[in-house]
């Protein structure tokens, strides 16, 4: 009563069995596969390469694909083509094509500088060709500008150039008697540009470096000043960066700090900037408290952070 189905009929529809029995071809049912797109072909080739690497293809075909002669020839062709496009005669040929001339230049990140001056500084003109452009050289020219800390060059094909810069951010002003005017100091303690007329002067001033002849000594002192300003930049309420007026160095290399609201000196001595800054922060927190309606710090004559390692000397004036 029960007849066992053939194995090849399991899971096959009646229409499919009829097609198999009559011998119809796919084109009779207009089921011919469509032409593959470029993306599908690329995916198919990618899968094929994966099968080759996995050892699915026969050994003979795999041997043919690993033919070293073909690899050497292909490498040679690519090298020759690269030479003619970048160095050889074709560079001149393509360099004269108007299609690849730069028509749009965008420079971002300017605060103190401006795009027009930077284009002139780096020699960026609309006569430059995208194919003959040298991004590394352009980057080096831009970063040679006093205010430019970092520059990035990006070509937007076929005729656009995108330049993004990062300017130095001044942390202090350096005043030296043998130099006219001030110099801006960056976060590393290095001078990077002279202050021009009309530019911002609302920064702490570093003085006293005239006593030192060698650049290594000056660099060491500026580094310690930069560390102090970095700690003050955390904007704690007792010792914010905007409350620092002057950082002075004595002939012995000792640091003396002056605050904006309080004219008395704070002697830091030499070294251990981080530890002494932490101590001063705690001391000022106490001194800013009011006693009988008057802040204690108003009667301070000076503070010595170099008094003892674990102690701070706060001297009061005669009225205190």
Residues 131 and 180 in one domain: no
Q: What is the CATH number of the domain that holds 160?
A: 3.10.20.310
Query: How far apart are the C-alpha atoms of 41 and 276, rounded to whole Å?
Result: 69
Residues 82 and 153 in one domain: no
pLDDT at 39: 46
Query: How far apart are the C-alpha atoms of 232 and 173, rounded to whole Å?
Result: 16
Residue 45 lies in a domain: no
Residue 221 lies in a domain: yes
How remote is the C-alpha of 82 from its chain's centroid? 30
Residue 231 lies in a domain: yes
pLDDT at 178: 78
Residues 224 and 278 in one domain: yes
pLDDT tens-digit readout, 158-193: 889 999 999 999 999 999 887 888 999 999 999 999
Residues 179 and 227 in one domain: yes
pLDDT at 233: 87
How many Cβ atoms from other residues are within 10 Å of residue 153's Cβ? 18
Range of the domain at 185: 172-316
Q: Which residues of the chain have pLDDT under 70?
A: 1-67, 71-72, 76-98, 318-320
Peptide bond preceding 158: is omega within 30 degrees of 0, i.e. cis? Answer: yes
Residue 226 lies in a domain: yes
**Structural domain count, the chain:** 3
In the listed set 133, 167, 201, which residue is the last one of a domain according to the structure? Answer: 167
In the listed set 144, 167, 190, which residue is the last one of a domain according to the structure? Answer: 167
Residues 151 and 112 in one domain: yes
pLDDT at 83: 54
In sequence order, which residues have a C-beta less than 8 Å from that of residue 64 and are 6 or more positions away? Answer: none
Residues 129 and 247 in one domain: no
pLDDT at 16: 53
Residues 108 and 213 in one domain: no
Residues 179 and 131 in one domain: no
pLDDT at 57: 47
Residues 291 and 191 in one domain: yes
In this prediction the pTM is: 0.67
pLDDT at 240: 86
In sequence order, which residues have a C-beta less than 8 Å from that of residue 128 and are 6 or more positions away? Answer: 101, 102, 161
Residues 261 and 183 in one domain: yes
Largest distance between two CA atoms of the chain:
124
In sequence order, which residues have a C-beta less than 8 Å from that of residue 135 and are 6 or more positions away? Answer: 153, 155
In the listed set 110, 137, 167, which residue is the last one of a domain according to the structure? Answer: 167
**Tokens 């350096």, located at residue:** 174
Cβ(255)–Cβ(249) under 8 Å?
Answer: yes
Residue 15 lies in a domain: no
In the chain, beta strands by DSSP E: 104-108, 148-156, 160-167, 172-175, 182-185, 191-194, 205-207, 244-249, 255-259, 265-269, 290-291, 294-295, 300-308, 311-316
pLDDT tens-digit readout, 7-19: 455 555 554 555 5
- Both tokens of 71, joined, read 């690899």
The count of residues in the chain is: 320
In sequence order, which residues have a C-beta less than 8 Å from that of residue 223 and are 6 or more positions away? Answer: 188, 189
Nearest to 98 by CA among 66, 73, 72, 128: 128
Residue 8 lies in a domain: no
Residue 79 lies in a domain: yes
pLDDT at 28: 43
Residue 2 lies in a domain: no
3-state secondary structure (DSSP) of residue 207? strand
pLDDT at 179: 82
Residues 119 and 176 in one domain: no
Q: What is the CATH number of the domain that holds 274?
A: 3.40.50.11690
DSSP 8-state class, residue 201 = -
Residues 159 and 280 in one domain: no
pLDDT at 78: 66
Starting from the edge strand earliest in sequence, which strands make up the sheet with 160-167, in order?
A: 104-108, 160-167, 148-156
């Amino acid at each position: 009563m029960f007849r066992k189905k053939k194995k090849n009929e399991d899971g096959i529809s009646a229409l499919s069995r009829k097609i198999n029995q009559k011998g119809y071809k796919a084109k009779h049912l207009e089921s011919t596969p469509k032409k593959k797109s470029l993306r599908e072909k690329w995916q198919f080739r990618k899968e094929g390469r994966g099968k080759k690497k996995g050892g699915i293809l026969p050994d003979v075909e795999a041997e043919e694909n690993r033919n070293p002669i073909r690899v050497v020839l292909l490498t040679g062709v690519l090298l020759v083509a690269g030479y003619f496009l970048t160095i050889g005669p074709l560079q001149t040929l393509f360099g004269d094509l108007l299609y690849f001339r730069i028509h749009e230049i965008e420079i971002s990140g300017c605060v103190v500088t401006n795009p027009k001056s930077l284009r002139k500084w780096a020699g960026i003109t609309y006569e430059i060709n995208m194919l003959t452009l040298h991004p590394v050289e352009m980057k080096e020219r831009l970063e040679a500008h006093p205010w430019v800390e970092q520059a990035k060059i990006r070509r937007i094909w076929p005729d656009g150039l995108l330049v993004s810069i990062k300017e130095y951010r001044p942390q202090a002003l350096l005043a030296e008697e043998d130099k006219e005017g001030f110099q801006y100091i960056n976060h590393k303690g290095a001078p990077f540009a002279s202050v021009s007329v009309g530019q911002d002067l609302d920064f702490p001033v570093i003085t006293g470096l005239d006593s030192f002849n060698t650049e290594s000594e000056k660099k060491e002192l500026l580094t310690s000043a930069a560390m102090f300003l970095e700690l003050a930049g955390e904007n704690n309420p007792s010792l914010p960066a905007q409350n620092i007026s002057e950082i002075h160095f004595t002939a012995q290399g000792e640091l003396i700090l002056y605050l904006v609201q309080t004219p008395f000196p704070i002697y830091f001595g030499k070294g251990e900037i981080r530890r002494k800054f932490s101590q001063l922060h705690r001391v000022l927190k106490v001194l800013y408290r009011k006693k009988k309606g008057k802040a204690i710090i108003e009667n301070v004559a000076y503070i010595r952070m170099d008094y003892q390692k674990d102690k701070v000397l706060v001297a009061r004036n005669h009225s205190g």
